[in-house]
Amino acid sequence: MRLVFDLPLAGWVGLPLVLLVAGLLLWSRKRGGQSWPRIAATVGLRTAALLLLVGLAARPVWVARETASAGHRPVAILVDRSESMSLEEGGKTRYERALGFAREQLLPALKAAGLPAQALLFAQDAVAESGEKIVTAIPDGKRTNLGGAIAQALANATEPPLAVIALTDGMANESADNNRALTGLVDGGVPFIGVGFGSDEGVPTLTLRNVDAPPVVSPKTTFNFAAQLEAVNGGSLPEFDLLLFRDDLLLRKKTVPAGKGSRMWQESFSLSEEQEGAHRYEVRLMPPDVRGLKCVNQTAGAAVRISQDRELRVLYIQGALTWDYKFVGMALRDDPAMKLTGLTRTSKQSIFRQNVESSGELVNGFPASLTEIAPFRVIVLSNLKPADLTTEQQEMLARFVGELGGGLLMIGGAATFDSSWQGSRLEQLLPVVFASGGGVQGLDRPFRLQLSDEALQHPVFQITEHSPTREAWGRLPTFTQYGVVDAVKPGAQVWARHQQDEGPNGRRILMASQRFGAGLSAVISIQNFWRWRLAKDAEPREFDRFWRQLFRYLSEIGRQDVSIHLADQELRPGIDVRLLLERQPNPSKLNEPAQTFTVRVSDPNQKKLAEQAMELETGRSKEFTFRAEQAGVYNITVVDAHQAPVASRALELRDFNVEFENTGRSMETLSQWASVSGGLAVKQEDCRGGSELVRELRAKVEQAQRGRAVRQPAGLNGWTLAALLGCLGGEWLLRKKWGWV
What pLDDT was estimated at residue 708? 56
Q: Can you list the positions of beta strands (E) in 1-145?
A: 2-5, 60-65, 75-80, 88-89, 92-93, 117-122, 126-128
Which long-range contacts (C-beta less than 8 Å, at least 24 apart) are formed by 361-367? 366/317, 366/393, 367/315, 367/396
The better pLDDT of the pair 94, 290 is held by: 94
pTM of the model: 0.57
CA 100 from centre of chain = 39
Sign, CA torsion 313/319/321/323? negative
Written as one letter, the residue type at 498 is: H
Helices (H) and strands (E) in the chain, counts: 18, 42
What pLDDT was estimated at residue 68? 46
Q: Beginning with the edge strand found earlier in the chain, give each strand of the sheet holding 575-583 in spatial order.
A: 562-566, 575-583, 622-628
For residue 1, give the 3-state DSSP assignment: coil
Helix (H) or strand (E) holding 474, with range, is: helix 469-474
Written as one letter, the residue type at 328 is: V
The full length of the chain comes to 741
∠ CA 616-620-624, rounded to 5°: 60
Report the 10 Å Cβ neighbour count for 494: 21
| Domains of the chain, earliest start first | 2-66+710-737 (no CATH), 75-202+664-691 (3.40.50.410), 205-303 (2.60.40.10), 312-450+492-535 (3.40.50.880), 562-653 (2.60.40.2550)
Over residues 586-592, mean pLDDT: 54
The better pLDDT of the pair 6, 543 is held by: 543
DSSP state of 351: E
Band (221; pLDDT cuts 50, 70, 90):
confident
Written as one letter, the residue type at 27 is: W
Tally of CA atoms within 13 A in the half-sphere of 467 that contains its CB = 8
Least confident of 231-245, 309-323, 486-500, 673-687: 309-323
CA 331 – CA 546 distance, rounded (Å): 9
Residue 233 has pLDDT above 90, yes or no: no
Over residues 386-398, mean pLDDT: 83
What pLDDT was estimated at residue 70? 46
Q: Is 384 left (phi over 0), alpha (psi -120 to 50) or beta?
A: beta
- Give the CA radius of gyration of the chain: 38
What pLDDT was estimated at residue 307? 75
Structure confidence by residue, pLDDT tens digits, 490-539 = 878 899 988 887 777 788 888 999 888 778 899 998 888 888 888 877 78
Least confident of 30-44, 550-564, 684-698: 550-564
3-state helix, strand, coil in the chain (%, to 5): 30, 35, 35
CA 285 – CA 554 distance, rounded (Å): 32
Treating both helix axes as pointing N-terminal to C-terminal, what angle do 146-155 and 667-677 enclose, rounded to 10 degrees? Answer: 40
**H-only helix segments in 32-112:** 36-57, 94-101, 107-112
CA 211 – CA 228 distance, rounded (Å): 6
Residue 194 to residues 136, 145, 238, 672, 709, Cα–Cα distance (Å): 23, 14, 38, 10, 26
Structure confidence by residue, pLDDT tens digits, 590-647 = 556 778 899 999 988 888 999 999 988 876 788 999 999 888 888 888 888 877 677 7
Let me know: does 499 contact 447? Beta carbons within 8 Å.
Answer: yes
Band (706; pLDDT cuts 50, 70, 90):
low
Strand 506-516 and strand 277-286: the pairing is unpaired
What pLDDT was estimated at residue 700? 81
CA 557 – CA 406 distance, rounded (Å): 7
CA 469 from centre of chain = 33
**H-only helix segments in 333-413:** 370-373, 391-402
